[in-house]
């Protein structure tokens, strides 16, 4: 599955739209790992890059999809999918997330 397919099918795949946007202002979808788990192996959508600065393995993994303007975070069994409408808001969201996880 690509990140675009995940974004396009988020509701059908069990994600729910959060009442509030993400701290960075992106559209925030939340879910557990159920639809994306094969046994005990979590399968990331194709592409993107793991952000080691924001990740704290094995508890939190943050993957950035720059072209799709998406931040996908796995944290202790839950998934947050942050979708941004344009590059400036996406990079502001990445900066906000880095600031949050640096605390």
Tally of structural domains, the chain: 1
The owner of tokens 């996406």 is 90
Q: What are 37-95's pLDDT values in tens digits? A: 555 456 789 899 999 999 998 889 999 999 999 999 998 888 899 999 999 999 999 99
* Domain region containing 89: 3-102
Q: What are 22-40's pLDDT values in tens digits? A: 888 899 999 876 544 555 4
> Tell me, what's the pLDDT at 14?
84
DSSP string, 29-46: EEEESGGGEETTEE-PPB
pLDDT at 13 over 70: yes
**pTM, two decimal places:** 0.87
């Amino acid at each position: 599955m690509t990140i675009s397919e995940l974004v396009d099918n988020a509701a059908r795949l069990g994600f729910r739209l959060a009442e509030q946007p993400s701290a960075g202002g992106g559209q925030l979808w939340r879910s557990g790992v159920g639809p994306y788990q094969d046994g005990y192996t979590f399968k990331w959508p194709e592409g993107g890059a793991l952000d080691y600065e924001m990740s704290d393995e094995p508890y939190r993994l943050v993957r950035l999809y720059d072209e799709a303007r998406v931040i996908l975070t796995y944290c202790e069994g839950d998934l947050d999918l942050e979708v941004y409408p344009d590059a400036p808001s996406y990079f502001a969201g990445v900066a906000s997330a880095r600031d949050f996880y640096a605390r």
